[in-house]
Amino acid sequence: MRWGGGQVLRDRNVAFYLSGVVVSGFGSSAMALAAGVWAKSLTGSDSLAALTTFCVWAPLLLGPLIGTVADRVRRRPLLILVNLAMAASLLPLLAVDSGDRIWILFAVLTVYGVSSVLLDSAEAALVAAAVPESLRGDFNGLRMTANEGMKLVAPLVGAGLFVQFGGAAVALLDAGTFVLAAAAFTLIRVSEPAPRPAEAQRWTAEAAEGIRCLRRHPVLRPLVLAGAATMGVAGLNGAAVYAVVDAGLHRPPAFAGVLYAVQGIGSVLSGLFAGALLRRMPERVFAAAGIALFASGVALRAVPSVPVSLLAAAMIGAGLPCVLIAAMTAVQRETPGGLLGRVAATANTLLFAPNALALAAGAGLVALVDHRVLLLAAGAAGAGAAVGCLLCRGARTPPAAPAATGSMGSTGDGDRATETEAAPRNPR
């Protein structure tokens, strides 16, 4: 089993691309923790602290509409401009010094959420035009690894900055990372054909095209639906974490941080080997295996044992990213270039919205039913999603092993390949 990550990282433009993603992800992870603590410290309200997360997640429900922007313009300039705009939009947070001004924090976080959806759709579209198909699994796995790695470090940095210097310091850190990300994207050399002029139609009609493409696709639809079901189970699992720590393991709440750290390590390892595994098996098999591993870990959390809980956290971390990497790799390969921004945004909405909804539902359920019953039921639901994904027969065989290819910024044949990526083709 050959690891393709080295070949991916040797490409100069891919290295800059991943650098931009890693840097901005570091700032975002730090800000995600600090925003809730900031709202709590200024207002004393748990509800307002929770509302900070809602503000970031809510724009995801408008993903198909927001993703339309990524199909109307060139993606690299869009990434640069949005990152710079995000850096500027964080500056008003310097004025948030009392509960009366907390609305500024919520407004900025809502803009943050809209920008995140737009960045994700533009990045997915740019990757499809810039990274060879045989290496996209490796690339998406490395991106997942980088993001999960940042989640292990950035929240600690954000918490430390907040304690020492306040929320404004975290906002400045996040703004700086967006500027650095914009600089990294500026250094990428990639030939992007100008978007084809679309027929005059409403935004809702353009968004509907992406929805229809995903709904009718025999490969993407079952993968995304399996991912949505898995993320719903992940939400229930997340809601039960503190019950596991308290009632199951009889440990203080801070022990949840240990479980999350082990889970993050599992996700990092999973991302490193995702590309090599995707070249050896169809996406549906890779996704189903990951879902099954994840579901087994969720069910194991019902066992009141610290070693078993640590093992379960590692299984959850290693299994959960598989369906996400498989789904996004499939979206990048099978979607016509002119629709990719909308389809990627729609897929992200379907994949991640169930997590937020299930997290809210699970918070209520864990107060009504034993957490072990909830975890066993969630594990069974995850197993059902794995079986459903495995029985789907629409997926192609994995791509051939990577051959020598031009870099993202190549010309000549590389440009013709980029143009082919942007042209409509049969759904995979």
What was the pLDDT predicted at 362? 83
Question: 414 by DSSP, 3-state: which?
Answer: helix
Phi, psi dihedral angles at 149 (to 5 degrees): -65, -40
The tokens describing 97, both together, are 């010094």
CA distance linking residue 217 with residue 164, whole number of Å: 51
- Specify whether the CB–CB gap between 296 and 375 falls below 8 A: no
Share of the chain above pLDDT 70, in %: 85
The string of pLDDT tens digits covering residues 48-69 is 776 787 888 888 888 888 888 8
Please give the structure tokens belonging to residue 198. Answer: 């679309």
- Both tokens assigned to 306: 């610290």
**Structure-block tokens of residue 318:** 């290693």
CA distance 262 to 236: 19
The pLDDT of residue 154 = 80
Top-confidence residue, 387 or 255: 387
Phi-psi region of 146 (alpha: psi -120 to 50; beta: other; left: phi over 0): alpha
CATH code for the domain in which residue 251 is found: 1.20.1250.20
| pLDDT higher than 80, residue 283 | yes
Has residue 426 got a pLDDT over 70? no
**Secondary structure of residue 192 in the 3-state scheme:** coil
Alpha helix stretches (DSSP H) within 131-166: 136-165
- Asked if residue 315 is part of any domain, the answer here is yes
Number of C-alpha atoms within 13 angstroms, CB side, residue 91?
A: 7
Provide the pLDDT for residue 213: 86
How far is Cα 277 from Cα 350, in angstroms, rounded to an integer?
A: 25
Q: Chain-wide mean pLDDT for the chain?
A: 81
Residue 221 lies in a domain: yes
- The rounded distance, in Å, linking the Cα atoms of 24 and 117 is 14
| pLDDT beyond 70 at 425 | no
Could you read off the pLDDT of 353-383 as tens digits, one per residue? Answer: 898 788 778 878 888 889 899 999 999 999 9
Residues 7-20, mean pLDDT to the nearest whole number: 75
DSSP code of residue 352 = H
Domain count, the chain: 1
313-327 in b/e form (b: 16+ CB < 10 A) is bbbbbbbbbbbbbbb
Compute CA distances 332 → 133, 335, 337, whole Å. 9, 6, 9
**Is 58 among the domain residues?**
yes
Q: Is 237 a member of any domain?
A: yes
Position 204 pLDDT exceeds 50? yes
DSSP 15-41: HHHHHHHHHHHHHHHHHHHHHHHHHHH
Of the pLDDT bands very low, low, confident and very high (cuts 50, 70, 90), residue 194 is low
Top-confidence range, 124-133, 152-161, 288-297: 288-297
The 8-class DSSP code of residue 217 comes to -
Q: Taking residues 389-407, report their average pLDDT.
A: 53
Name the token pair of 16.
Answer: 């800059």
Tokens of 132: 């060879």
- pLDDT recorded at residue 243: 86
Residue 291 predicted with pLDDT over 60: yes
Residue recorded with tokens 């310097």: 94
| Close Cβ partners of 424 (under 8 Å, ≥ 6 residues apart) | 336, 337, 338, 339
Where does the pLDDT of residue 160 fall: very low under 50, low under 70, confident under 90, or very high at 90 and above? confident
- Domain that residue 393 falls in: 5-192+206-398+407-422
Nearest-angstrom CA–CA distance, 418 and 404: 16
User: Among 46-55, 154-163, 221-230, 337-346, where is mean pLDDT lowest?
Assistant: 46-55
Highest mean pLDDT among 106-110, 123-127, 407-411: 106-110
Measure the CA dihedral 160/165/167/168, to 10°: -130
Residue 197 located in a structural domain: no
Tokens, residue 95: 């004025």
pLDDT of residue 254: 67
Would you say the C-alpha torsion 168, 84, 205, 223 has a positive or negative sign? negative
Residue among 241, 191, 266 at smallest CA distance from 366: 241
> Span 165-178, mean pLDDT?
92
**pLDDT at residue 192, as a whole number:** 67
The pLDDT of residue 286 is above 50? yes
What pLDDT shows up at residue 403?
Answer: 40
Q: Is residue 428 part of a domain?
A: no
pLDDT of 318 reads 94
Asked, for residue 290, whether it belongs to a domain, the answer is yes
Closest CA to 391 of 225, 216, 213: 225
Residue carrying structure tokens 């810039």: 130
Q: Is 200 inside any structural domain? A: no
pLDDT of residue 338: 78
pLDDT at 42 over 90: no
